[in-house]
Amino acid sequence: MSFVDTLYGFFLCLLVPFYWHYGKFTPAFNLNTQGNVTTAKVDMNDSSESTQKRRQCLLLLASLFFYALLQIYYIPFLLLAAFLNYRLAKAMEARFRGCLQPQYSQLSNQEWEEMQRFWNSQATQILLIGIVLNVLILIIFRYLPFLFGIIDDILNLPLAQFSSNWLRTNLIVPLGISFFTFECIAYLVDVYRGAPASYSFLQFASYKLFFPKLISGPITRFHQFNTQLKESQALTNPLFTEGLWLMACGIVKKALIADSLGIFVDLCYGNLERAGSGDLWLAIIGYGLQLYFDFSGYVDMARGSAMLLGFQLPENFNSPYFTTSIAAFWRRWHITLGDWLRNYLYFPLGGSRKGLMRTCINLFLIMFLAGIWHGAAWGYVIWGIIHGLALVIHRLTEQVSQVFTGFGRWWKTIPGTVCAWMMTQFMVFLAWVFFRLPNVQQANLVFSRLFNHRADVQFAHKVYGEALGMGRSDLVWLVLALVMTMTFLYLVKRGLKIELSSSVKIALVPVCIFVVWILAPGGGLPYIYFDF
């Protein structure tokens, strides 16, 4: 069951009213919010604590039901992994509080400091155990076949080759395992840094398995989510409207735009030997757009679903294809992953506090790890290396611009801005080739045929004529129209700062659904980020 399935619509239609009725909240639809997304505190018919427990139980059961329709056999594993992280955080917090126990109040300052160092060292050991366990889970499910393959390539061991092939054939990766482990690591580190641990496993599990974000994010911190979970909120009219509007936008992005582009991209990348240079360039642009609309559409529907239940998940995209530097791109593409990498890798490594050379090494390292996180294949590694080098070059360029002020001023002119935008997006879209084709040989074939390579005689007829029902020029115009529409909406939102009113949004929701029902390709494609 995915967010664009009719079954998911029925699931939400049953869950949302039952959730608010079961929690004994009174909907507040007449608040004067002036179009802003808000929530309101209301009186409940019973105690706040019992209401919270009912809400948490219902969220957990709904999330388990949602995941059971996808991979029911991994539910015990997810619950066990969540319980282990819950217990580790509780143990870590207990160690921090150990030195505050009454029996230690009579100790001298020196003895108290030694006792504090002892408890802190134990908390550090628990943190390391938790991080290692989560990383091991990720390695076993995502990287073990890849590692056995590397061992076979280096040592030529038949057992390693057999193990790699067997695992690739028989091991099914749990959906959302990467996002699951990243959130667990973030939770443990936050508790280690002084944030309170969850007071109950039900509370933690209802956050950890919350179905809108469970499979592909956005990556959400426990304490941000738990603050909303504990508040007594009502479903306000603006929150309800914004939730429906986000879901409608997500359906259009995914089912109408991303899936339509995906048909051509799959046909072109699936027939590399027959595609011509023009077809490959069109596929490169098409995949970059497909990936954005596919993932941002998922996040819109995830955030919209959460809003209908009173939660506001973090944004994950902010017009990344209109950025003029790779650093700005990563501040606006997969925002929650960028925040995770920055807070839990880049800053602990020293960030930019230890000189230019160390900063460049840190930037390269976090993007290298980001590439590995996305998948166990050399293409993802190369993709991470490209983005790491791009971040290093950008940082060095900033340093040069500070020394040669004329050079720095040129980048702020209109020609400099356009040049920076073109260079950034050219690099981003070309790097997506390794993302779409993690098999390096296939990716190299694409790059070797980007210029002066004619397509097979039957390629245009089969792909454009039979599969798409249009010529290549027609597809080019459609892609251009899509880009122009994105540009127009970006300028309206950013430049004129115009937002649709709630009444317009609620009126457009059924229009969006009807347009998708009429024009979207049948069948639908799986979410790209379900593989990560």
Listed residue (291, 304, 332, 294) closest to 211, CA to CA: 304
What pLDDT shows up at residue 360? 93
What pLDDT shows up at residue 106? 60
**How confident is the model over 139-154, as pLDDT tens digits?**
888 888 888 888 877 8
pLDDT of residue 39 exceeding 80: no
Instruction: Report d(CA 234, CA 405) in Å as an integer.
Output: 54
The position carrying tokens 């608010």 is 20
What pLDDT shows up at residue 158? 78
Query: In this structure, are residues 387 and 435 in contact, taking their beta carbons and an 8 Å threshold?
Result: no
Binned at pLDDT 50, 70 and 90, residue 24 comes out as low
Instruction: Report d(CA 307, CA 298) in Å as an integer.
Output: 14
Q: Give the side-chain half-sphere CA count within 13 A for 427.
A: 23
What pLDDT shows up at residue 128? 94
Query: H-helix or E-strand containing 308?
Result: helix 277-308
Structure tokens, 244: 């429906």
- Torsion region of 176: left, alpha or beta (phi above 0 gives left; psi -120 to 50 gives alpha): left
pLDDT of residue 355 exceeding 60: yes
Structure tokens, 224: 């941000």
Flag the least confident range among 67-76, 225-234, 388-397, 509-518.
Answer: 225-234
What pLDDT shows up at residue 45? 41
Per-position b or e across 470-509, b if 16+ CB within 10 A of its CB: eebeebeebbeebeeebeeeeeeeeeeeeeeebeebbebb
Average pLDDT of the residues in 341-351 = 90
pLDDT of residue 111 exceeding 70: no
Structure tokens, 279: 């077809």
* Residues catalogued as catalytic: 374
Structure tokens, 33: 């919010």
Flag the least confident range among 205-214, 375-384, 440-449, 461-470.
Answer: 461-470
**How confident is the model over 173-216, as pLDDT tens digits?**
888 898 999 999 999 999 998 889 988 899 999 999 999 999 88
Q: Which residue has the higher pLDDT, 95 or 485?
A: 485
Average pLDDT of the residues in 429-456 = 92
Query: In this structure, are residues 202 and 56 in contact, taking their beta carbons and an 8 Å threshold?
Result: yes
Cross-strand bridge partners of residue 509: none
Average pLDDT of the residues in 435-452 = 92
What pLDDT shows up at residue 464? 85
Q: What is the SS3 assignment for 449?
A: coil
Amino acid identity of 23?
G
What pLDDT shows up at residue 234? 67
- DSSP summary character for residue 322: G
Cross-strand bridge partners of residue 41: 233
Strands of 169-261 (E only): list them. 233-234
Q: Which residue has the higher pLDDT, 437 or 499?
A: 437
What pLDDT shows up at residue 172? 85
Per-position b or e across 448-467, b if 16+ CB within 10 A of its CB: ebeeeeebeeebbeebbeee
Instruction: Report d(CA 398, CA 220) in Å as an integer.
Output: 32
Query: In this structure, are residues 111 and 100 in contact, taking their beta carbons and an 8 Å threshold?
Result: no
CB count in 10 Å sphere of residue 13: 11
pLDDT of residue 157 exceeding 80: no
Instruction: Report d(CA 507, CA 241) in Å as an integer.
Output: 10
What pLDDT shows up at residue 99? 53
pLDDT of residue 108 exceeding 80: no
pLDDT of residue 252 exceeding 50: yes
Binned at pLDDT 50, 70 and 90, residue 100 comes out as low
Dihedrals phi, psi of 234, to nearest 5 degrees:
-115, 155
pLDDT of residue 431 exceeding 60: yes
Binned at pLDDT 50, 70 and 90, residue 63 comes out as very high
pLDDT of residue 44 exceeding 80: no
Q: What is the SS3 assignment for 218?
A: coil
Average pLDDT of the residues in 117-135 = 88
Average pLDDT, the chain: 86
What residues have CB less than 8 Å from 23, skipping those under 6 apart? 44, 51, 54, 55, 58
- DSSP summary character for residue 197: P
- The rounded percent of the chain whose pLDDT value lies above 90 is 51
pLDDT of residue 33 exceeding 60: no
Cross-strand bridge partners of residue 233: 41
Alpha carbon 216 to chain centroid, angstroms = 5
Q: Which residue has the higher pLDDT, 102 or 371?
A: 371
Instruction: Report d(CA 421, CA 417) in Å as an integer.
Output: 6
pLDDT of residue 52 exceeding 50: yes
Strands of 262-366 (E only): list them. none
pLDDT of residue 62 exceeding 90: yes
- DSSP summary character for residue 458: T
The position carrying tokens 């801005």 is 417
pLDDT of residue 30 exceeding 50: no
